Amino acid sequence: MSIIAQDTPGETVLLMGNEAIARGALEAGIKVCAAYPGNPSSEITGSLAGVADEFGLHVEWSVNEKVALEVAAAASFAGLRGLCTMKQNGLNVASDFLLNLNLTGCEGGLVLIVADDPGALSSSNEEDSRAFAKLGDLPLLEPATFQEAKAMTKWAFDLSEDLGLPVLVRTVTRVSHARGNVLLDELPRPTKKPRFDTSRPRIALPVLTNHKLLREKLERAGQVFETSPFNFYRGPEKPELLIITCGSGWMYSLEAVANLDLNERVGILKLGTTWPLPEQMVLNHLSKADHVLFVEEVSPFLENNVKELFAQNCVDLGLKRFSGKATGTLPDIGELNPDIVISTLQDILEVFYEPVSAEYALRAKEISDQLVPERPLGFCAGCPHRATYWAIKNALALDGRDGFVAGDIGCYSLGIGPSGFSQMKTLHAMGSGTGLAGGFGQLNAFGLDQPVIAVSGDSTFYHAVMPALTNASYNKSNLLLLLLDNSATAMTGFQPHPGTGKTASGQDAPILDLEVICKALGAQVEVGDPFDMKATTETILRLLQDVEGVKVLILRRECALVRGRTQKKLFNMEVDQDLCLGERCGCNRLCTRVFKCPGLIWDEIAGRARIDEAICTGCGVCAEICPSLAIRKEVV
C-alpha cells in the first residue's frame, strides 16, 4: 500500500516533501488533481495517481499546465476541492488562465502547487514563480519542512474556501525532493455531490468590479496571515541581526546559527505566508533589530516586499540596514545552501568558523581536484536518443549546409552536449523547437540556406508542439520535425500521456496516434526506427534535400529505462579484441571517442574497446559503428 494512503493517524512516517504535499491534499479531502509532470513537482500527482482508485479521486496527467489548472478549477467551481501541480516553467503556461481565474474566484478549495528549481538542477531556467502571486493578487504560502508541506497544503484548501480564491503554494527542490518525519492525521472521505451554481457565473467581467473584490480578498488574506502558526520567530528579544526567511532558507538559517553558536545574537523570523505579508508582524520584528538579512531562494522577493513595507513606515521605524540578494550580500543566482548562509553570517558578525582544519580542507580539495574526473550528464546506455543524434549528425554532415537542430524540452535536450554530439543549437520552452524551426523555414525566401531540424518528444508534442506544427502547415513553412517517440515522459519519471493508451491511474485510454495527428495537421509523415541508424540517416537527408513543406519523421523506440523494467537485454554484446585494431585502426576510435555510450568503454591496458557488462543494456546499436566489425551482437 502507498505510504500516503496509510490510515494510521498519529503515526510518524518518512515522507518526501512531495509525498507530504500529496498527503496534505488527501487529508483536506480533495476529489480532483490535475497536473503536467516536471521536476521537482512530479511526485505530488504521481503519488496521488497511485491512490486514486482507493480514494475515489479523479487524478490526471493533463496535456499541459493550463489545461491542468482548468480541470482543477472546474472541480472547484462545482464545489469540490481541486489540486493542480506543476514546475515553475509550467506556471508560465497556466498563467493566462490563472490571471483571469483570480478575478472570477472559486468555490471549493483550489490549491496550485508550484515547485521551483533554484539552480536549475533539472530545468531550462530558475525563475521564481512567486512573482505570479504578486502579479495576480493571490495568496502565497511557502513550506519550510516536510511536516509543514503537509499541514500547509491541507490548510491552503480551507484558506481558499474562506477567501474564495485559488491559493498558491511555492515549494523548492530541497523541500520537494527531500525526506523527513511527518506525523499523519485523519483521512476524510468526502461524498459531496458536485454542482455548478448557474446563478453565480464565473466570468471575469465586469473587470473593475471583480478587480476591486480581488483586492479586498487579498487584504483579508493579509489579516488572516497576521496570526498564522506558519509564521514565527525564534531568537532573542532584541537581536543584533534579524534573519527573515522562508522555505528551505529556514533550515539553512537554523543550521548556520547553530554552527556559529549565534543563538544569543541572531533571531530568525520564519514566514510561511509570504504574499501578502503579515504586515503588523513584520513591522513589529523590524522595530526590534537594526540589521536585517533575507535568506530566500532565487529572487529577492521577501527582501523587496519587506523593504517596500519599511519605506511606508520608516518615519516610525528609523534607520535600518538591509542585506540580501538585492544588496549583493547573498548570491542572486543559483541555489542556496547552509555553507553560503554560514559564510554570510561570518562576514556580517565577524565570527570564526572552521569545521575541519584548513590544512585538511585544502589537502582534500587538492586530491579530489587532481584525481576526480568530471561526470557530465549523458544519455543512458541503450537510449534511442543517442542513435537518433548519431543519424542527425551524419545526415547534417552529408548535407554539408551547416544545418542544426532546434531543440525542445525533455531528455533529448541533452543533445546540447557531448552525448548528443552537440547537434542542438537552440533550447527554450516546451514546443519552442518546432515554433522556431517554422520561423527559420520562412527565412528560406530571404536566402537562409541552412537546413533546420526540430526535435520533440512524444509528451512534449501533445503539450505545445501541436500549435507550432499547425502554424507551420498553415503558413506554408518548410520544416522537418523529428518526433522522438519513446512511449514515455521519460525525463520526469515515465508518466503516461495521450500516446501511451494509459491514464495516470492506470486505466486504458484511447491512443491518440501521432501519425494520424501529424497528417491531420498537414504534415507529410514517415516512421522509422532510430536503432537503424543507416536508414534513419538516409531518410533525414532525403527529407531535408528533396521534400518541401512540413515533414514529420516519427522515430519510435521505447525508453531504455522503461524497456529495462520488463525486458532483459535484446543482445549480448561483445568486443572481439582480436578484430579491434585499437588506435591503429583508421577509425579514430569511433566507438568510444565519438559515439560515447557509457556501456562501451576503452580498455587502457589492452588498448581495445570493451563492453562494460554492468552498464550495457544490450541494444545492439554500437555493432553498426565499428568498421572492423569487432563489436558483435548475439540475440539473447
Partner 1 sequence: MVFQKDPFNVIIGGVGGQGNVIASQVLGRILLPKGYVITIGETYGASQRGGAVMSHLRISAKDQFSPLIPEGQCDLLMALEPVEGLRILGQYGNPSVVSLINTRPIHPIEIISGQTPYPDVSEVLRRIGELSKGVWAFNATEIALEMGDPIFSNMVMLGALSMLDMLQIDRQGFEQAIGGLLSSGRLAQNLEAFDRGKMAVEKI
| Residues from 216 through 255 that contact partner 1 (CB under 8 A) | 248, 251-252, 254-255
Decide: helix, strand or coil at residue 58: strand
| Smallest separation (angstroms) from partner 1 to the CB of 377 | 5
Smallest Cα–Cα separation from 630: which of 612, 609, 615? 609
Q: Which of residues 116-175 bind partner 1 (CB under 8 A)?
A: 117, 121-122, 145-147, 173-174
The answer to whether residue 14 forms part of the interface with partner 1 (CB under 8 A) is: yes
424, containing H or E segment: strand 424-426
Measured CA to CA, the distance from residue 132 to residue 122 in angstroms comes to 21
Among 337, 346, 422, 524, binds partner 1 (CB under 8 A): 337
Q: Is 226 exposed, middle or buried (0-12, 13-18, 19+ CB in 10 A)?
A: middle
- Confirm or reject binding of residue 601 to partner 1 (CB under 8 A): yes
Which residues ranging from 345 to 384 are in contact with partner 1 (CB under 8 A)? 355-357, 360-361, 363-365, 367-369, 371-380
Listed ranges 6-14, 236-244, 515-523, 571-579: which one lies at the site for partner 1 (CB under 8 A): 6-14
Query: Which window, 98-106, 163-171, 514-522, 590-598, contacts partner 1 (CB under 8 A)?
Result: 590-598
Angle between helices 17-27 and 42-50 (to 10 degrees): 50
The residue ranges of DSSP E strands in 529-578, in sequence order, are 550-556, 571-575
Residues 463-492 that bind partner 1 (CB under 8 A): 491-492
CB 391 within 8 A of CB 533: yes
For residues 294 and 315, what is the distance between their CA atoms, to the nearest angstrom? 22
Q: Which residue has the cell 570493451?
A: 610
* Residue 419 sits in the site that holds partner 1 (CB under 8 A): yes
Cα dist. 129→25, 134, 171, 410 in Å?
21, 10, 10, 21
Tell me the closest approach of the beta carbon of residue 176 to partner 1, in angstroms.
9
Nearest to 69 by CA among 114, 128, 133, 126: 114
Q: Quick one: which of 512, 467, 459, 463 has its CA closest to 489?
A: 459
Q: Among 94, 109, 112, which residue's Cα sits nearest to residue 44?
A: 112
Residue closer to partner 1, measured from CB, 180 or 222: 180
Query: Of the candidates 151, 342, 559, 587, which one interacts with partner 1 according to CB under 8 A?
Result: 342
- Is residue 563 involved in binding partner 1 (CB under 8 A)? no
What span, in angstroms and rounded, lies between the C-alpha atoms of 416 and 369?
26
Q: Which residues in 294-323 contact partner 1 (CB under 8 A)?
A: none
Q: Which is nearer to partner 1, 233 or 494 (CB)?
A: 494
Strands (E), 486-549: 524-528
- Under rule CB under 8 A, residue 418 binds partner 1: yes
Nearer to partner 1 by Cβ, of 394 and 592: the residue is 592
Binding segment for partner 1 (CB under 8 A), chosen from 27-35, 477-485, 607-615, 624-632, is 607-615
- Shortest Cβ distance from residue 471 to partner 1 (Å)? 29
Between residues 318 and 355, which has the closer beta carbon with respect to partner 1?
355
- Using CB under 8 A as the binding criterion, the count of chain residues that bind partner 1 stands at 72
For partner 1, the binding residue among 244, 540, 592, 626 (CB under 8 A) is 592
**Could you give the angle at the alpha carbon of 426 between the alpha carbons of 600 and 62, nearest 5°?**
85
Q: Which of 70, 158, 185, 339 binds partner 1 (CB under 8 A)?
A: 339
- Closest to partner 1 by CB, 24 or 29: 24
Q: Is 495 in the site for partner 1 (CB under 8 A)?
A: no
Q: Which of 81, 177, 270, 633 binds partner 1 (CB under 8 A)?
A: 177
411 is a contact residue toward partner 1 (CB under 8 A): yes
CA distance linking residue 225 with residue 307, whole number of Å: 19
Instruction: Build a one-symbol-per-residue string for 276-295: x at contacts with partner 1 by CB under 8 A, - elsewhere.
Output: --------------------
| Region 88-107 residues binding partner 1, contact defined as CB under 8 A | none
Q: Considering only residues 35-74, where is the footprint of partner 1 by CB under 8 A?
A: 39-40
Question: Residue 573: phi, psi to the nearest 5?
Answer: -105, 150
Residue 363 or 401 having the CB closest to partner 1: 363
Return the H-helix or E-strand segment holding 608. Answer: strand 608-611
